[in-house]
Amino acid sequence: MCGILGIYGFDNVGSELIHGLSSLQHRGQDAAGALVFDEAFKIKKGLGLVNQVFTDKHVEYLQGHAGIGHVRYATQGSMNLINAQPFYVNYPFGIAMAHNGNVTNFNELKKTLHDDYHRLIETSNDLELILYTLAAELEKKDLLKISHHEIFDAVATTQQKVQGSYSVISVVANHGFLVFRDPHGLRPLVMGKRETSKGTVYAFASETTCFDYLGYETVRDLLPGETVFIDAKTRQVHCRVTAKVTKPAFCVFEYIYFAREDSLFNEKLVATEREIMGHKLARHFKEKNLKPDIVIDIPSSSYFFAAGLAEELKVPYRRALSKNNHVGRSFICPTHDERERVVRQKLNPIRDIIKDKKIAVVDDSIVRGTTSKHLVQLLRERGAKEVYFVSASPPITHPCVYGVDMSIKQELLASNNSIEEIKNYIGADEMIYQSLEDLMEIYKDQPCCFACFSGNYPTGVSLENLEQIEKERVCSKKT
């Protein structure tokens, strides 16, 4: 999962692009990059956070009226600088691109591009495959007379060839601004605008919170399989669903964990969605006749789950874990040792709040169990009488192949253990999971992807592809 931002304006967008990427930092902390276009592409990329990669001199350098930016959380390819986005090619026209997602037919595409189009794949980042596939399709057109119709046709063929999840933002030099989503709409992409004295400035981003920071009006989510092209000459906005959409499947993990609580997807506020999930969790407490003294959350993505649970159970909510905000998100740390180090540094229980209490402690999910086990131990050390550990998501039993770092089955705690075994492993008195049935009931009117809970992959991933993705991920973690 990564964060992407694109701005198509009239004046220099570099500074705004970098500030906007900071609001998406929670989506990726491995690398950051920005590219602008005026008469040529200018690019800056680096490993680390946005404020580590960009300085004042880079803001001065990144002068252009169109730009795309990216914050990376590595799920495909190693964490080397060569894999940092955006990417660009100089022919045809010059195409620059950034994306959020994961291509699942990586090897097949790589072979096709090599054998049929003589393209040398230089990185292990799947964006390169999308970029070269689109470039190859555009090369088949009459480049002197190309219009948005031909560009839509090239995107449509690209969407047929590229399997998996992807939201793409690109600049086609001297021709326009191009964005598109995969046919299932797995990864988010929203459109915003701002009116200026020179005309409308358009922006596209992974989350609406980015528009709030930059002062843009949210227009709408792009549809699954939709392409938007803004013509450089006429400034007209052309929209078309270029892919055959048979099974929309927005990633439900965006609501559960990845997105910020102040973002909206499909007109649903993430904070409200998490509160609804919290209310659903109360059923399991009533069935087990569990009566906690207080409900606490694991900062910072779990507050609204805990608030909803506490309200439904009619017990007090308390903030009992003090968070060090200068430590990153443990879930997106690349190795087990780093995740353990981050957990130790990140949270400190407040003794006077938890001592002698029966505590329901709510987390958004349990993937590997590193955080959960450590926190239960900390709470007991600080005097908790009983600890009921609560996961706002169902058990994660299957690898995610669409861009969330859950692609190695042996690392998934619930894939290899029963709920009772998980309870014993983390040392809790009770273990409560959200039920998949309740989660699906919440989204009965919005088709979502629940593959990491059910194993039902909307793109029909084969066992061979699953094994290859897991093998690639294991190798990339070693580099």
Q: Which residues are designated catalytic?
A: 2
Interatomic CA distance for residues 94 and 173, integer angstroms: 5
Per-residue tokens: 202: 């358009």
Are 377 and 427 in contact by the 8 Å Cβ rule? The answer is: yes
Are 376 and 321 in contact by the 8 Å Cβ rule? The answer is: no
Beta partners for residue 103, in sequence order: 164
Phi and psi at 179, nearest 5°, equal: -135, 150
Beta partners for residue 363, in sequence order: 391
Interatomic CA distance for residues 473 and 470, integer angstroms: 5
Beta partners for residue 390, in sequence order: 362, 432
CA-CA distances (angstroms) from residue 162 to 62, 86, 107? 31, 18, 11
Interatomic CA distance for residues 21 and 4, integer angstroms: 8
Interatomic CA distance for residues 245 and 264, integer angstroms: 22
Per-residue tokens: 356: 């002698």
Interatomic CA distance for residues 79 and 30, integer angstroms: 7
Q: Which spans in 289-433 are helix H?
A: 303-313, 336-346, 351-354, 370-381, 413-416, 419-426
SS3 464: helix
Per-residue tokens: 9: 């304006």
Sign of CA dihedral 98, 85, 3, 10: negative
